[in-house]
Each structure stands twice: as structure tokens, then as C-alpha cells.
Structure 1
């Protein structure tokens, strides 16, 4: 039964043991409803799955779970693990030189499945954004029995021949976060403005608030570097994606400055019968102007999977 957003139950943040780590999560809606697991991207905590987005999705009859990936926010930090040197990242990006990562995207996929185990979720609708989309794809590849449907948002297949962000943009977006609070907020807000693009109004007050909350929840630059290393060392998933049989939705913006729209097209082309939804003017964020339509697309996909 559908409920209004205001009637949606919110369960406060908790930690559970998953894949040998502590994973921090909260949830929206009734636990008895079909589960939707939201996976966030690089350097981005679970609170960037906007609460209004989660409530609206839960109001359609789902139990919505969002969580912090390893090495960020309130989930376990792997601070004993080394991070690659800056030059190693640069050599990988420019010349595809092999990068040594302390863990792989497959480990983050196993974290998600471990969270599902801890919450006694047998199967879920898996939704991932950016790096979260890569993780979601891997869950569908490696644990298809746990997946009801797959939604990959502003993500890619891992094929390094696909278009990528310009080197100038990449350097701006991937600069090491500054520790001093005021400078950090200014730097991070600038990054989000670049990601958002110029087509839709930029909600600076809301984004700055989320960034301030993120810094207070858990500021871990080394963890971001380890996550980035996992992305850069990941194998091309294209051939594995061709074997998927799960109902799939691929969402992308045609103005994405970080993961160009061609990457979304390639993802949809790789997955049999995947639906591709491209939003004109959307960058590497989900603008409030399209959020409701994104929710409707996810709900439509989920209902088709039942």
C-alpha cells in the first residue's frame, strides 16, 4: 500500500557486521516491503541519497536501505592499508599503468551482500550511482540470486577505451581534500558545482549543508584514495554484463563531466534488454528537477521484476 512521504517510517542509523567490517546504514519504510538497496559513489556518504528521495521511494511500497561504503562516513576505515602515491594514480590515468589497490570493487560488492545478510534481505532491487553503479553491476554479476532488479546511474562498464573526463576536469574533481574546515567546504562545494553542471540550478545551500554533515560524520581522505584505486584497478565488466538476465535500468545525463554519457550508453548496450534513460542537461548528480522521474523509473522497473 502506498503511503505519503510524511507517513514513511525512518529507522535511525545503526552499524552491523558485514564482510568482516562494520557497515553503517539507515532505512525508510516498512521492513516487510520489498527491499531497495542504494549504493553511493566515490568519496560520497550515504546522506547524499537525499532523505526526500528515500522517503518518496519508500512511499511506493519499498523498504529503502542506504549505507556508507567502507572507508567513508561511519563505516569501517581501513587506515592500516596503504594508498598509492600520487604519481601512481597519474600514471594509471594517463598511461593505464597497473595500479596496486588495497581492495577491489568486488570487495565493496561483497560488503553490500554482507549488509543484506545482516539485515536478512534475501533479494533486493539494487540501485547504484557512479562507483555505486559499478558495485551494483558486480553484485548482479557475482550474486545474481540476490538481485531482483538492477539500476545503474551515471556509471560505466569499466571499458577504458570509452570517453572519459578531460584531464583538466579530472584533476579539479579529484584533488586531495583540504583538512581545514572552511577551505574544505569551499573546495568541495566547487567540485559539486562542476559535477552538477550549468543546466539545472545549483542548490548551494543544500549541498554545503550535506558537505558540512559529511565532514562531521567522518572525514577520511585516505579512504577516498583507496576507493579511487579500487575503481582504477577494476577489470572491464562488459563481457560479464552481456550474461545478465535481470531487469535493468541505466540512467545517465548527457552533460556528465566525470563519466561521459557514452559510458551509460555502453552499459545499456552491454546488458540484454536494458532500458536506457538519458536526461538532457543532467551532469554527475541527480537534480531535484528530475528526481521524481528517476524514482518513477526505478519503481516501474521494480514492479516489472515482481
Structure 2
């Protein structure tokens, strides 16, 4: 693989209707097709592995990863109410500070800040939900949509296997080493049976994540935003965007039924299910992920 240029982290202010600060990082040649990488709940842009970003860049793309609101170095909504998760599950949204639509508007705001009329979107988990929402609410801004290990918002599909998560306990936000150990336990619980976790790499990323941000409520604010946003299935049926749906057959965080439902809802979407893949981005699959995403994007670009 060719050596790919990596740019330092950069920041922009007054992004989107919420006027937030967003931190982002580019890879490769900015003249190539732009690909926004949207991470999942509680996860930072560094959870998109640099190696995977470079795989995309080496295939003629310009990946841009960024911290969503309430993660990493982007704006945190610390003045918002403390989310009451059980109340939200019961339909009381009074402690929900924002929705996926607000996060979609952040993403479009970043496009505006970087001077893009439209981009290709790749979203993982909650990031897939945000990417779907951008495609629904701002269709002219999305050239292609790749939704990875995500779901439609319909609560009959894509549900977690709570037995796999039951013994993890709360993250030890106040203790760096405790947080790293909790992250590794979590990644093992929801990871890929076929692709063992690289614990050294996972610990390095968890430590970097803790150093950048360990807001104990950011992930919860995002989680209740997902719940308030509801079911996107009917709106997904109206999409006219070229779409790729990637999911792991062994995903315990977002059941594979979520990926199947997403692909069934979006007209002409391509569905790729990986045997033995859980909720994560195993290094062994980076090249294949990148190839499939790049094939979709280059097909779209050649028809523009």
C-alpha cells in the first residue's frame, strides 16, 4: 500500500444551526472524492482506525473523520439535563437535549465549513443512523451512503443482546486505567468471534480517548437522542441514494436484523454480511471494507 499523507487534527467553530465547535482530521489528497466518516455512540473520531482511513485513501478517496457533538474535542452539551434513560424508554423525552436530526445538521454544517456541496457518507452504528438521517433530510448533500453495523430505528430489529452486556458495569470515567480495562472488556463482549481483539491496540486507543475526553454523560445524551428519533423505515424507502449496508453476522450490540432491515428499506441497497464479525472494525477486514466502499463511490463518481 502506498504511503498516504495524514493531516493534523483541525477545528472549526460555529458549525451548523447549533453553532458548535467540531474537530476533524483529513487523510490523503483533498482533490479526491470526500468521504465523511461518522462514528457511533460515545465513540470518537480516533475509533476510526488510521489504518482503515489509509486503506480508503489508497483507493483514491479523501476520508475525513470527526468528533460528533458530545465526544472527543467537539462541543459537549454539559449544560443539558442529565438524561433519565428509563423515563425516555417510557416515552418521556423531557431530559433529551437533541436528536439525530441535530447531529445530522452538525454533519451538514461541517460540509459547509469545509466547502463541500455534497460528500459520500460512511457511518458506523449510531453514525450509520446519523448518515441515514442526513440522506433523508438533506438528500442533495449525499452522493452515496454506507451504513455499517447500524439499524433503522424500528425497535423490532437491531436490538442488543443484553446478556452479553450485563456484566460490564459502568465505565470508570475517573480512572484512566480502569477506563481502559472497561473498554477492553466491552470490546471483547461485543467483538468478533472470528477476529480476536488486538488488546494492545485497543488499550492504546482507549487511553488516547480518555485523554481527549471522558465526559461521563456524553454517551448517554447521544443514546437518548437515538431513542427520541424513532423509526426511519418509511423515510428510508424514499431514498434515491446509492447505498451499501455492511453488518456482522455475530453483532451483539446491533443485531444483524438491523442491517437486513436497513437494506430492505433503501431501494436497491447492496447488503454485505460478514460471518464471524461482531460490533467493531476488525483489522483483518479493513481492506475488504475499503474496497467495497471505494467500488461504490467510484461507480457514483463516474456517473456524475
Do the two structures share a fold, i.e. TM-score over 0.5?
yes
Aligned to 1:123: 118
Contact 1:177/1:188 (CA < 8 Å) preserved in 2? no
Per-residue deviation, 1:186: 1.1
Displacement of 1:266: 0.3
| Among candidates 5, 8, 12, match of residue 9 of structure 1 | 5
Q: Could you tell me the TM-score, scaled by structure 1's length?
A: 0.93
What SS does structure 2 have at the residue aligned with 1:76?
coil
The 1-side partners of 2:141 and 2:179 are apart by 39
Task: Assess, with a 3 A threshold, how the Cα gap between structure 1 residues 139 and 177 changes in structure 2: closer, same or farther.
Answer: farther
| Runs of 5+ consecutive residues of structure 2 not aligned to the other structure | none
Q: Matched residues in 1 for 2:9 and 2:158: separation?
A: 38
- Given the superposition, is the C-alpha separation of residues 171 and 82 from structure 1 closer, same or farther in structure 2, using an over 3 Å criterion? farther
2:150 is paired with a residue whose SS is coil
Please give the alpha-carbon distance, in whole angstroms, between the structure 2 residues aligned to 1:174 and 1:296: 37
Equivalent residues in 2 for 1:78-157 (5 A)? 78-88=77-87, 92=89, 96-100=90-94, 101-157=96-152
Range that drifts further, 153-162 or 197-206:
197-206
Question: What SS does the aligned partner of 1:239 have?
Answer: helix
Conserved 8 A contact 1:83-1:102: no
Which residue number corresponds to residue 39 of structure 1?
Answer: 38
**Under a length normalisation based on structure 2, what TM-score does the superposition of the two structures give?**
0.94
Alpha-carbon separation, structure 1, partners of 2:268 and 2:172: 40
Q: CA deviation at 1:163?
A: 4.9
Task: Name the counterpart of 2:176.
Answer: 181
User: CA separation of 1:184/1:118 partners in 2, compared to 1, >3 Å: closer, same or farther?
Assistant: same
CA contact (8 A) 2:44 2:67 kept: yes
Q: How far off its partner does 1:70 sit? A: 0.4
C-alpha deviations, 1:164-217, integer Å up to 9, x for none?
A: 123333445683444212221111110011121322111010011000000001
Contact 2:180 2:203 (8 Å CA) reproduced: yes
* RMSD, aligned α-carbons: 1.5
Contact 1:5 1:56 in 2 (8 A): no
2:193 is aligned, of 190, 198, 204, to 198
Residues 177 and 183 (structure 1), Cα distance of their counterparts in 2 relative to 1, 3 Å cut: closer
Aligned-pair CA distance for 1:88? 2.8
Q: Distance in 2 between matches of 1:67 and 1:242?
A: 28
What do residues 144-171 of structure 1 show as CA deviations (whole Å, max 9, x unaligned)?
1111100000000000122512333344
Structure 1 stretches of at least 4 aligned residues deviating more than 6 Å after TM superposition: none
Counterpart of 1:264 in structure 2 is 259
| Equivalent position of 2:21 in the other structure | 22
Cα separation, 1, equivalents of 2:243 and 2:232:
15
SS of residue paired to 2:37: strand
Q: Structure 1 residue 252 and structure 2 residue 247: aligned?
A: yes
Which residue matches 1:224?
219
